[in-house]
Amino acid sequence: MRRLATLFSIVMIGVIAIWYANVHENGEYQGQSQMSMLQQQALDEVMAEDLSLTTSMFIDQLKNQLLRWSEQDFTNGELYEQFQEELRKHNHFEAFAVMNNDKVEKMAGNIHEKDLQKLTHSFNGLDSSDPYMKDGNEYMLVGCSTDEGKQVLGEVNLSFVKKYVRDLAHVVDANGNLFIGGDEAEVEFEGEGIRPYGATKEVPELGWKIRVQSEARELDDHEHFVEHEAIISFVDGINGGEWIKSSPLSLVKNGGPYYVVRDETRTTDQLVHELSLLEEIETVEPNYFYTKQVNEPFLRRHGEMVPNDEFYEPYQWNLSQIFAEIGWNITSGTNDVPIAILDSGVDPDHEDLEERILMGYNAFKDDGEFFDEHGHGTHVAGITAAATNNIIGIAGVSWANPLLPVKVLNEKAEGTAFEVAQGIRWATDNGAKVINMSLGDTFNSKIMHDAIRYAYKKDVVLIAAAGNDNVETPMYPAAYEEVIAVSAVDNNRHKAIFSNYGNHVDVTAPGEHIPSTFPDNAYVMMSGTSMAAPHVAGLAGLIRSIKPELTNTDVAEIIRSTATDIGPLGFDPYYGYGEINVVKALQALKNY
């Protein structure tokens, strides 16, 4: 059986709406046109609805956690100690109790019978209290009933939630649930300094109302570059970071071979001219703004293209690390270069994918029913080419390349060489220019290799995950010479602890704590070489979007030769030729 090339530590992403954002003293929106206010208010309506629904999801997760805990056997001393430790480490719950006829039957923490009087709100099977203070912190009680008619109670630390959401940090609870606070809006409870603009939505489970009131940001139409900044690269032999440290310049951002530097004492023209005279500097230019004709607004930061997707800025470090933000100034993909996702299928109705998805294939049933019953394939698809700059969800490596879903893994994320081979051939015959395979095993299947050769001869770019056993043993199809094998790194460009390695590895890409799409309009975070591979597939799609005439050999060579060399100098078994570099790969196309 094929083993799924991902770690099975799934982290659900949500947005907590229990936010206490500070209210600006000035209640007016300065510098905005009437039209931009109306547009922003419309966006506020969408976000407020998202927040209220997601808060409901958060409450459901708390409820489910209580019900799971209610099934534990507290008469077993060892199990009870384990539960006490879990509760102590839990990021939301401070106490837990099971009540039977208003009497405490099971207890962890500190809840009493009298606390039942605090449960003044009831909605859809969930009871809750108003927030209350205790020992300088703010808490609330939530409760629900079991099938046996008992009442389960949990005390939730709201101070913890408030702190981490306001700091835009993330927290993971004992079940791996990750909750995210966005940074594009102010959210507050109804009645706290309301402006004339914004949107209010109710969270019925708690009797709360949340209000979103964003400030639209506009670029100066006359700005062409960031004043006082320049982008530079250095000649061979110069350590750019050390050189900048010894100079009067301040480092804004390290972009691999490129550095954004700033000097408040000089104009951009002066800065560019003076830097161009230095023998250590290879190239220098202003940190230009680039504009494209898009329907939705996006933010430019230091010459980069920053999409407005909800989870991009706080959590998608992975795309910044491979310099996608700069590369998107060159291309964000085209709709005539399909990327096939050979996996457990894809959710065709996901809000962040539905515009990208073509008609697909089910290799088990030999039909077009490709719905994802597991979730892995939907996650992989989102990394590759989720709808981007659409306010919701995440950004994909490609913004425009269509996705060709090919179901070769079942509801357990398992399949055979036959299904994989069938999927490869079907994708090849149905227009795929790139195929991603976030799957594999150590078995060298001839039938699968024959399908790989078939696709390769048809000029398809083939990409596969290297595997997650932290061993040198080759995993197939990644180890086939026709396939680009991808290992995984973390946000420090260190080899991910789980990632396989070996001389068959071609390149590496981010693969640890990667947020992406999940069935039923959800978003999850996963880790694995399964997550690294679709970054490379997205890049291959971008390359072929600019130069469709390039052969698959050309594309592979560009990806390898432009990778950022990390680890030991030159090719090595842990990182291959290095971490993929979107901007360098796309810039290299000028020479083809």
Q: What is the pLDDT of residues 557-568, one digit of tens each?
A: 999 999 999 988
> How far is residue 278's CA from residue 230's CA, in Å, rounded to a whole number?
14
Residue 56: per-residue pLDDT: 54
Q: What is the mean pLDDT of the chain?
A: 77
Among 65-79, 319-333, 436-450, where is mean pLDDT lowest?
65-79
Beta bridge partners, 419, equal none
Return the pLDDT at 26: 36
Q: Distance between CA atoms of 588 and 581, rounded to whole angstroms?
A: 11
Q: Which of 309, 343, 372, 441 is catalytic?
A: 343
Q: Among 209-218, 306-315, 495-504, name the one with the lowest average pLDDT.
A: 209-218
The arithmetic mean of pLDDT across residues 451-457, rounded, is 96
Say what the pLDDT of residue 491 is: 87
Task: Write the CATH number of the domain with boundaries 225-288.
Answer: 3.30.70.80
> pLDDT at position 381, please?
97
CB 339 within 8 A of CB 541: yes
Q: How far apart are CA 530 and CA 536, in angstroms?
A: 11
**Right CATH for 312-591 from 2.30.30.40, 3.40.50.200, 1.10.150.120, 1.10.1660.10:** 3.40.50.200
- Report pLDDT for 203: 61
Residue 91 has pLDDT above 70, yes or no: no
Let me know: does 124 contact 204? Beta carbons within 8 Å.
yes
Instruction: Provide the pLDDT confidence category of residue 211 given band limits of 50, 70 and 90.
Output: low
pLDDT at 577 over 90: yes
What is the full DSSP assignment across 408-464? -S-TTS---HHHHHHHHHHHHHTT-SEEEE-EEBS---HHHHHHHHHHHHTT-EEEE
Asked whether the predicted pLDDT for residue 6 surpasses 60, the reply is no
Q: Name the helix (H) or strand (E) containing 177.
A: strand 177-180
Nearest-5° Cα angle at 283, 280 to 285: 125
- Asked if the model's pLDDT at residue 256 lies above 50, the reply is yes
Q: What is the 3-state secondary structure (H, E, C) of 54-81?
A: HHHHHHHHHHHHHHHHHCCCCCCHHHHH
Domain ranges of the chain: 11-212, 225-288, 312-591
Which pLDDT score is estimated for 66? 81
Q: Which of 145, 11, 20 is nearest to 91 (CA)?
A: 11
Contact status, residue 527 vs residue 9, Cβ threshold 8 Å: yes
Amino acid sitting at position 233: S
In three-state secondary structure terms, 11 is strand
Instruction: Report which residue type is found at 164.
Output: Y
Most confident of 191-205, 309-323, 362-376: 362-376
Q: Which whole number is the average pLDDT over 362-372? A: 92
Task: Report the Cα 370 to chain-centroid distance in Å.
Answer: 23
3-state secondary structure of 592: coil
* Positive/negative CA dihedral, 262, 268, 271, 276: positive
Judge whether residue 383 has pLDDT over 60: yes
149 dihedral zone (left: phi>0; alpha: psi -120 to 50; beta): left
| 530: annotated active-site residue | yes
User: What value, to the nearest 5°, has the Cα angle with vertex 389 and ends 494 and 216?
Assistant: 110
Task: Count the alpha carbons within 13 Å of 407 in the hemisphere toward its beta carbon.
Answer: 24
Q: What is the pLDDT of residue 170?
A: 24
pLDDT at position 88:
77
At 189-203, the pLDDT tens digits run: 343 344 445 667 666
545 is catalytic: no
Cα–Cα distance measured from residue 435 to residue 453, given in angstroms and rounded to the nearest whole number: 13
Higher-pLDDT residue of 213 and 402 is: 402
Q: How confident is the model at residue 58 (pLDDT cuts 50, 70, 90)?
A: low
List pLDDT tens digits, range 27-54: 333 333 444 555 455 445 544 543 554 4
Q: For residue 332, give every residue at least 6 positions away whose Cβ sits within 8 Å of its Cβ, in sequence order, or none.
A: 292, 305, 388, 398, 399, 400, 542
Mean pLDDT value across residues 524-553? 93
How far CA 558 is from CA of 53, 411, 542, in Å, comes to 44, 36, 12
Find the catalytic residue in 214, 445, 527, 530. Answer: 530
Element housing 318 (H / E): helix 317-321
Residues 74 and 63 sit within 8 Å (Cβ to Cβ):
no
Say if residues 456 and 462 touch (Cβ distance below 8 Å).
yes
Residue 504 a catalytic site member: no
Identical fold, 225-288 and 312-591: no
Q: What percent of the chain has a predicted confidence (pLDDT) above 90?
A: 33
- 422, with CB counted inside 10 A (0-12, 13-18, 19+), is buried
Which one of the listed residues 121, 350, 376, 379 is annotated catalytic?
376
Helix, coil or strand: residue 84 = helix
Q: Does pLDDT of 124 surpass 60?
A: yes
135-154 pLDDT per residue, tens: 777 788 888 888 888 888 88
266-303 pLDDT per residue, tens: 888 888 888 988 888 887 877 543 211 122 334 445 55
- What per-residue confidence (pLDDT) applies to 518? 84
- Count, residues in the chain: 592
Residue 250 CA to its chain's centroid (Å):
30
* Token pair for 132: 């209350």
